[in-house]
Each structure stands twice: as C-alpha cells, then as structure tokens.
Chain A
Amino acid sequence: MSPPSRALRPSAGSIATSTILALILLVFSTTSRYPTLLAVSIALGGVAVGLALRELSALDLLRPFAVLPIVAAFTALATSASSTPTTDLIGGLGGLALLLWMAAGPELGPRAIGRSLSMIASTGLVLLIAWTSSLLLPRSPALLGIGGALIVAVVITVALLLGRPDLIDAETPATD
C-alpha cells in the first residue's frame, strides 16, 4: 500500500499575477537599449524561471529564492535603460507587481492576494510620494546616493525599533 501522490499546479492567482508582472517587464523592456528580442526574452525568461522555482514541488529548497530571477531580469533591463520619470514609475510599479506576485505563492494560501492588497496599497502610497518628490528634485547621481543612504538608515532604525515593541507600545489600553 502506498500513499496517494499529489501534484502542484499554479493557481489562477499565480497565473494572473505572473501575467501582470510579465506585462510590466515587457513594457519596461521597450525602454531598454538591448535588441527587442533579447529584451523580451530577458523579461519573459525572468518571470518564467521565477514561476518555475516557486511552483515545482521538487524545488522546495529553492522556493524562497524564486524572486531572484525576476529581480535579475529587471536589473538587467534597468541598467541598459535611460533614467526618466517614466522608467522610474514603471520600476516602482514593477516592485509593487513583484509583491503581488509573492502574495500568490502556494505557501501563503488562496486568500493572501486579497488580504495583501491593503499592504501593497500602503507601500504604493509611499512610492507615489517618493516618485512625485523626485519630479521636483534635480536629477543628480549625488542626490541618488544621498537618498539611498537615507533610505538604508531609516530602514535600519525602523527595524531596530520594531524589534522592541515595548519601546513603541508602552501605553496600557484604557478599555481593560
């Protein structure tokens, strides 16, 4: 007697979010200086490899790293594209689409996409503020470096603070 076998197939949510991500990458590939065929191959190849790593049950150990091929594809396209407000906006949308794609992972359950929308919307708001601010600032590599360093510093500070919730939430609820 042997246990019944089981197979993993991409869910509808996974296919839908992969399509959105692929479309954004395809749009971004049009801004790249690579030949069109190569740029499209990089875009679609990144999404396909990421999807395969995530959905194939035999690759359990590699599943957490399924985002890496997509990030690599985006990086390859971005470094060959000129920096304009439009490419920045598409880049930001690509980041949001990547989060949505992650929410469709098989390990998170079928309702994760719907529940993650509020989180992704909040992140999108931060992104929108950053993008509109960038429109008003002069486009300089020095400012990029300063901005990047500031973001990293803020990230580390927030991480340290959130690791100690007693420092943030010291007030006793009045209703108890």
Chain B
Amino acid sequence: MSATDLSPSRIRWSSRTFLLLAVGIALLLIAVGTRTSALIFFGLPLLVVPFVAALGSPRRAVVADLTWQAGGAGPSVEVSGTVHARHGGDISQVAITFETPADLEEAAPPTLRYRADAIDFALRWWAPHPMIGRVPPPSISWKDPLGLVEREVEGERPTLIFERYPPELHRLGTVRLDRTLLLPGEARSHRVGASGEFFGIRDAAPDDPPRRINWRATARVGRRLSNEFELDRTGDILLLVDTRSVLLGPAVDDALIAVARAAATGISAAFLREKARVGFATFGEFVDAVPMATGRGHRLRLQAAIMAMRRSEVAGPSERCAATLNRFYPPGITTILISPLTGEADPDLLVYLRRRGYPAIVLSPSPLSLPVPHAALAPEAAELAQRLGALARRRRIARLWSHSPVIDWSDFWSFGELVRVLRQPSRRRVG
C-alpha cells in the first residue's frame, strides 16, 4: 500500500454531534438573551468536544481485515469472527456495527472482545424457518468514545452466507435414486481420459475443455455436449420449484421462496455429496432449467440458480412446464416438486408432469406455518381463520394425493416425511 493510500478517510460527523452543536448554540443564544453566563459555561463543553474528538482521530488510515463464519444448529444462527488490524491506529477505538439480515431475529446482543490487535465478536440470531441468507459485512469504523466522529476503516470484507436446514437432511443422501439416460446419443463406452468411467452426456458448460466435448454427439444433436465421468454415482434427481405467486401477498411469497430456496439447496447438496446427478428447474411464467450434472462446479452453478430464484407474478400454463422439462431431462427421473399448492392449476401441473414422464413427489411448504400477523383480525378470528385454512389445505392435499404423493411440509424443521417417501420407490411413483 502506498503512502497516499494511507491517508485517513474523511471525517464523518454523527447525528449526535449535530445535536450537541445545536444544543450548545441554543444555550448560547438563551444565555445572551437572559444574560445568564452559567449557560455559556454549560454549553461550552458541548460545542468544544466534537472538535476535540476530531483532532484525536487517527492521522493515518486504520486497516483491518474481517474473517467470519456461520455456525449453530436448527433455528439458531451463530456467527463468530475476528477483525484483525493490519496496520494503523489503535484497534480499541474501532467500533463494529452489525446489521441483522432480513428474516432473522436477534436472539442476543452482539458480544465483542477486544485484544491487542484484534476484536473477536459473536452474534446470535434466530431463524423462524429454514433459509439461506447473506449476511452483509458489518460497518467497521474508528469512533471516538462519545460516538461523535468516525472514520471508515479499510480492509477486506467478505460476505457471509448462512444455511439452515432441517436435521433429517443428512439422511437424504442414503436414498437410492433411479438412474436414467440423459440424452439421445448417450452410450456405454470405454474409459475416456483419466478422470473415471464414462457415465453420460450433458449440455456443455462454457468452461468445459475441448477434450471433454463429445464431438460425435454434438454433431448429431446440433449443440455442444460433454462427456461425464464418475465412478460411484447413485442416480439422478430433479428439483422443480413452483415460483408462481400464491396470491397471499408479497410477504408470504417472499417467505415461501426463502423456504423453497433452503429446501432446494439442502436437498441438492445432500445428493451431490453422494455423487448423484442433480437437475434444478423453476417454473413461474416459463421454465428456467439447470441441466443435470454433478460435482463441485455444478454445486456452485445450482447455488447461483437457486439464489437467483424469484417469485413470478405471471403464472404460466401447467402444460408448458411439463413440455419444457422434456427438453432438459430424461423421463422417469425422480422428481421433487416444491410447491405451496395454493393455485387452482396445481392438479393440472401434476397430471401433465406425470403424462410427460415425471411422476413427482410434492413437497409443499405450508403458508399457514409462516409467522404472518393477521393485523386486521381479532385473536379469536385469526385462530378461526387459521383452522379453516388448515381444513381447506388438508382437503386440497387429499385430492392431490390421487395424482402424486404430497408431503404437507408444515413443520419446517423436519424432513422426516420426505425421507420416508423417498426411501420407498413404490411410493415415489404412485400417488
């Protein structure tokens, strides 16, 4: 870092400074108006102290790097980390301001422990339902002891992602999945390259090396296809998320998407750990699909797609979803549909999926389990509405069982029923 980079950032006056200056000036005016000299002496420290604080700020830039990680289990999100001073002023004058991510609630105030050249911190939040969230980097700044003046502290500020899943997720990887053929042109072959046994063909990713491209299949199909090699793959699975709006308001929409995001990430990660091929698609107005693949790179690809998932205001026709899936995934693949099942077209979607060869297991996060306040209703009326909603939902799910197995996911911290259904291949296919 050059000498010019070490110049301190600009002084930022806090609102408390302006309050003190305003009070001090008001006292001066009152003192002059009422001819009371004691008020001048009372106001003088309030006027002087901000500038004493500014003159005491570091003459060189303070640089401190942040390292942090997320832990905890179940609904508890525990974040711990350290702010290390790289060089510059006194770390004991550095203040850290944390922002609680949306959807999380603060379980305990942040704890800070100052050491000679570092600050250790610990945060405890509470997640009302499974979710994946991004924790914004905290604001780290030099502050005077009275909080009047601050200067921004430079340094590395990595973003932290936390993931909260039901504990049964770890049992999902033991489920035996069906193997399917990927695309026309796929064939058993001798070993190619040194990376393992030929397994299948998939759409080529932009970063695939030329030797991994299956040129014959590419010529036949008309688009670039790559070979896949794995030794111990267990099967294939498709995660399909229904992102159509549930018409219960944006708050419920966002919460359901957050739950679906966590479920999709957790389920995909569990199967990818077992070397299964995982495909991911969302269906709102149109289908956005990530072709099946496996490996670490695919996990990142899936994570990006899942994080980019948003609620669609326009609902596309159910047949479009089923027809589009045929372009990306082979029929017969084990399919998990994550849908709140609040739309009139849900039975149609299941029927069309089944006809196209995707008998789905429906994992249905219940909107009734979300902590949405009924602001306009009295407590008794809200409870009655909740019970009526539960009855209507039970009836709807019972009707859908004739098309597919449906798991009413009302306890968001349990995947037990999903694991049970997935472990019985006969139940996977028949509703």
Q: Interface residues, chain A, CB within 8 Å of chain B? A: 1, 3-4, 6, 28, 64-65, 67-68, 71, 74-75, 78-79, 81, 83, 87-92, 94-96, 98-99, 102-103, 105, 107-109, 111-113, 115-116, 118-120, 122-124, 126-127, 130-131, 134, 139, 141, 144-145, 147-148, 151-152, 155, 158-159, 162-163, 165-166, 169, 172-173, 176
Q: With the chains together, A116 CA to B60 CA distance in Å?
A: 21
Q: With the chains together, A140 CA to B21 CA distance in Å?
A: 25
- B-side interface mostly: helix
Instruction: Please indicate the chain A residues that have their CB under 8 angstroms from the CB of B114 in the complex.
Output: 111
A64 touches B19 (CB 8 A): yes
B307: interface (CB < 8 Å): no
27 contacts across the A-B interface (CB closer than 8 A)? A4-B107, A4-B108, A67-B19, A79-B30, A79-B39, A88-B40, A91-B40, A91-B42, A92-B42, A92-B44, A95-B43, A99-B45, A105-B147, A109-B112, A112-B145, A112-B147, A115-B145, A119-B49, A119-B53, A120-B45, A130-B44, A131-B41, A144-B31, A144-B37, A151-B47, A165-B10, A169-B59
B7 touches A6 (CB 8 A): no
- B58 CB to closest chain A CB, in angstroms? 11
B31 touches A88 (CB 8 A): no
- A53 CB to closest chain B CB, in angstroms? 13
B126: interface (CB < 8 Å): yes
Q: A116-B146, A144-B32 are in contact. Are A139 and B37 (CB under 8 A)?
A: yes
B270: interface (CB < 8 Å): no
A127 touches B45 (CB 8 A): yes
B35 touches A144 (CB 8 A): yes
Give which listed residue, B11, B41, B50, contacts A95 with CB less than 8 A: B41
- B123 CB to closest chain A CB, in angstroms? 13
Q: With the chains together, A127 CA to B37 CA distance in Å?
A: 13
A-B contacts besides A98-B46, A109-B95, 16 pairs, CB < 8 Å? A3-B105, A6-B108, A6-B109, A65-B19, A71-B23, A83-B38, A99-B45, A109-B112, A112-B147, A116-B145, A123-B48, A127-B44, A130-B44, A148-B29, A169-B59, A173-B60
B28 touches A78 (CB 8 A): no
Instruction: Please indicate the chain A residues that have their CB under 8 angstroms from the CB of B38 in the complex.
Output: 28, 78, 81, 83, 87-88, 90-91
B36 touches A151 (CB 8 A): no
Q: With the chains together, A92 CA to B27 CA distance in Å?
A: 12
- B73 CB to closest chain A CB, in angstroms? 13
B54 touches A162 (CB 8 A): yes
B25: interface (CB < 8 Å): yes
Instruction: Please indicate the chain B residues that have their CB under 8 angstroms from the CB of A165 in the complex.
Output: 7-8, 10-11
